[in-house]
């Protein structure tokens, strides 16, 4: 019986281990002679060599019976995790604090109260200095338990001091929790629906944001609370297409890390994300000089030996740096120059399949398609868009799905693949109506493409010019302009009217700015 190979948790975990991690695991289990011929170790060896998870092969290659397999797998999974926990590469401030808490708890249960309190006091100082206020609160609560059984008498106001600390930490944790909840909820809305579509949705999002934003005094907020605050404002600004404020809060986010350099080591993922959103805001604002400077700085920091390294950070670095390398060519229209990035990224992408979510993989394909479209390679555009439109399991980011279909229609027309255009149009109409996402720009585009077959060749330029004038009305519209963030229809139409390649049109606009 073959299971869903890569979806088996134990198999996936073993395949994620580095050579040094596998070596350490063998040393860890080998410390006890009894483990040398154990069933869980033989299972590890079989899975380590296997290319896919096959239960029949496991049962034939080991002494594990079918009845025992689930328990042996569970035991092996736990032993690997314990081994990884002991690996210095996976040690950080949080694990050090928790280790000290475990030591203090052991000493407490042995009745060694003073030693326990001494360790807790140092751990609490470490937690507070690194903004680990949830852990600091846990430590204070344990200190209160010990003090309730053993009065140290070393400080007369000890009880009051602990109560005040608990109250302050609790208040900070409540604000951080509310801000993190708000940030996550806004991010979820952005992923599912994209930017706000009309006045009603704009009002609803603003009310939602205002109702859930807790009262705060910025001067009283620590690093962690400020980080969640800036993230919440950033997502709200993205939803509202307010890219100046996106830039403002993404910059605050990055500068917060620049001000507290030691927090990069503890929160490298947030550091990466902050820089990515700063670059994304500069991309939408078409600030090429600042964009290039920030991207170069970002690449240098993440490539330095001092920057934290692990599989998750490696995947995020690959994702953010490559998406922004592509975006750099969209700002100034240098699509042909950027085409060389595509095969390099495509070659590396399979290595990150388990660590990059499906949505971001589809974003890469949309960017590839758009790059080829800007270069005039319409067949290649269709090739990459088919990867998105043919993905039946993709349920997030409606905007991405919508404009993939619009761009596909245009690319089919440009490529001369218009023999099935009516059928393609019906499919797109059906999809958009089902999504309730048929807005003015899309309506005008579909209406125009549908009528192309009835326009005489010598009237085409006038038809393109009329559509261009129609769509210009929406270019600065607060809600309809979102269409142009995904697809630069205006530049495509100008290329038709003025007989210029679309990349040259975008390049001329960039130079004019």
Distance CA 82, CA 40 (A): 14
Alpha-carbon span 319 to 181, nearest angstrom: 25
pLDDT in tens, 324-371: 999 999 999 999 999 999 999 999 999 888 788 888 889 999 999 999
End-to-end CA distance of the chain: 63
Please give the pLDDT value at position 85.
84
Closest residue by Cα to residue 141 from 118, 124, 122, 129? 124
The model's confidence at residue 449, banded by pLDDT at 50, 70 and 90, is: confident
pLDDT of residue 37: 65
What is the rounded CA–CA span in Å between residue 157 and residue 161? Answer: 6
The pLDDT value recorded for residue 151 is 54
Residue 262 token pair: 């030691």
Range of lowest pLDDT (172-181, 251-260, 297-306, 460-469)? 460-469
Distance CA(226)–CA(222), nearest Å, equals 6
**Of 154 and 427, the one with more pLDDT:** 427
Count CB atoms within 10 A of the CB of residue 35: 14
Q: Which of 208, 250, 244 is nearest to 229 (CA)?
A: 250
What Å distances lie between residue 190 and 143, 362, 366, 439, 488, CA to CA? 43, 16, 18, 18, 21
The predicted structure's pLDDT at residue 442: 77
pLDDT at 192: 76
HSE on the CB side for 90, CA within 13 Å? 15
pLDDT at res. 28: 83
- The answer to which of 18-22, 138-142, 481-485 has the lowest mean pLDDT is 481-485
**Least trusted range by pLDDT, from 131-140, 150-159, 172-181, 308-317:** 150-159
**Residues 165-175: tens digit of each pLDDT:** 899 899 889 99
For 265-298, what is each residue's pLDDT tens digit?
Answer: 889 999 999 999 999 999 999 999 999 999 999 9
> Mean of the pLDDT values across residues 239-248?
94
Q: What is the pTM of this model?
A: 0.79
Handedness of CA 442, 447, 450, 455 (dihedral sign): negative
What is residue 339's predicted lDDT score, i.e. its pLDDT?
96
CA–CA gap between residue 477 and residue 285 (Å, rounded): 16
Q: Contact 488/504 with Cβ under 8 angstroms?
A: no
What would the pLDDT profile of 120-138 be if each residue is shown by its tens digit? 999 999 999 888 988 999 9
- Pick from 277, 193, 283, 197: nearest CA to 233: 277
Q: What is the pLDDT of residue 258?
A: 94
Residue with tokens 């270019």: 475
Exposed e or buried b per residue across 114-136, where buried means at least 16 C-beta atoms within 10 angstroms of its C-beta: eebbebbeebbebbbebbbbbbb
Yes or no: is domain 93-154 CATH 3.30.70? no
CB 462 within 8 A of CB 502: no
Which pLDDT score, from 0 to 100, does residue 3 have?
40
Instruction: Check: CB of residue 347 under 8 Å from CB of residue 5.
Output: no
Question: What is the tens place of the pLDDT at every residue in 228-240?
Answer: 999 999 999 999 9
CA distance 226 to 219: 10
Q: Residue 486 — very low, low, confident or very high, per pLDDT cuts 50/70/90?
A: confident
Percent of residues, the chain, with pLDDT higher than 90: 38
For residue 396, is pLDDT > 60? Answer: no
Other Cβ atoms within 10 Å of 361 Cβ, number: 17
CA–CA separation, 94 vs 90, rounded Å? 10
CA 498, 441, 432, 240 dihedral sign is positive
Q: Is the pLDDT of residue 467 over 70?
A: yes
* Whole-number Å distance between alpha carbons of 139 and 97: 9
CB 471 within 8 A of CB 489: yes
Mean pLDDT of the chain: 86
User: What residues does 344 pair with on adjacent strands?
Assistant: none
Q: Whose structure tokens read 């860890």?
A: 28
Give bridge partners of residue 54 from the DSSP assignment.
2
Nearest to 326 by CA among 290, 372, 293: 372
Residue 44, Cβ neighbours under 10 Å: how many?
23
pLDDT at 208 over 50: yes
Output the pLDDT for position 5.
Answer: 43
Poorest-confidence range of 75-84, 173-182, 432-441? 432-441
Q: Where are the domains of the chain?
A: 5-90, 93-154, 357-513
């Amino acid at each position: 019986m073959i299971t869903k190979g890569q979806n088996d948790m134990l198999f996936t975990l073993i395949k994620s281990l580095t050579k040094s991690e596998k070596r350490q695991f063998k040393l860890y289990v080998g410390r006890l002679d009894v483990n040398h011929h154990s069933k869980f170790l033989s299972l590890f060896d079989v899975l380590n060599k296997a290319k896919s998870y096959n239960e029949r092969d496991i049962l034939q290659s080991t002494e594990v019976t079918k009845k025992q397999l689930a328990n042996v797998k569970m035991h092996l999974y736990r032993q690997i995790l314990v081994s990884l926990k002991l690996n210095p590469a996976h040690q950080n401030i949080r694990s050090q604090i928790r280790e000290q808490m475990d030591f203090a708890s052991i000493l407490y249960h042995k009745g060694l109260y003073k030693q326990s309190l001494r360790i807790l006091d140092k751990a609490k100082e470490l937690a507070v200095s690194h903004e680990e206020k949830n852990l600091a609160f846990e430590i204070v609560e344990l200190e209160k338990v010990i003090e309730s059984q053993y009065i140290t008498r070393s400080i007369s106001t000890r009880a009051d001091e602990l109560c005040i600390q608990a109250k302050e930490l609790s208040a900070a944790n409540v604000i951080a929790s509310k801000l993190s909840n708000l940030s996550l909820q806004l991010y979820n809305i952005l992923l599912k629906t994209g930017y706000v579509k009309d006045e009603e949705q704009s009002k609803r999002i603003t009310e939602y944001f205002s109702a859930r934003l807790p009262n705060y005094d910025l001067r009283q907020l620590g690093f962690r609370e400020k980080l969640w605050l800036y993230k919440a404002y950033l997502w709200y600004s993205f939803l509202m297409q307010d890219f100046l404020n996106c830039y403002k809060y993404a910059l605050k986010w990055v500068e917060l890390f620049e001000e507290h350099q030691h927090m990069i080591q503890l929160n490298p993922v947030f550091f990466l994300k902050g820089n990515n959103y700063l670059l994304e805001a500069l991309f939408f604002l078409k600030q090429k000089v600042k964009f290039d400077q920030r991207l170069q700085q970002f690449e240098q920091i993440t490539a330095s030996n001092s920057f934290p390294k692990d599989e998750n950070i490696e995947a995020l670095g690959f994702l953010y740096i490559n998406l922004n390398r592509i975006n750099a060519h969209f700002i100034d229209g240098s699509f042909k120059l950027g085409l060389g990035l595509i095969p390099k990224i495509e070659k590396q992408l399979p290595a990150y399949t388990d660590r990059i979510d499906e949505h971001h993989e589809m974003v890469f394909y949309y960017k590839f398609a758009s790059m080829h479209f800007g270069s005039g390679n319409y067949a290649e555009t269709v090739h990459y868009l088919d990867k998105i439109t043919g993905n039946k399991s993709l349920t997030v980011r409606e905007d991405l799905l919508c404009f993939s279909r619009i761009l596909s229609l245009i690319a089919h027309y440009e490529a001369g693949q218009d023999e099935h255009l009516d059928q393609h149009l019906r499919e797109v109409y059906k999809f958009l109506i089902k999504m309730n996402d048929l807005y003015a720009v899309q309506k005008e585009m579909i209406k125009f493409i549908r009528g192309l077959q009835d326009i005489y060749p010598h009237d085409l330029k006038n038809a393109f010019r009329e559509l261009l004038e129609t769509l210009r009305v929406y270019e600065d519209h607060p809600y309809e302009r979102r269409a142009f963030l995904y697809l630069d229809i205006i530049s495509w139409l100008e290329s038709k009217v003025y007989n210029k390649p679309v990349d040259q049109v975008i390049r001329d606009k960039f130079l004019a700015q």
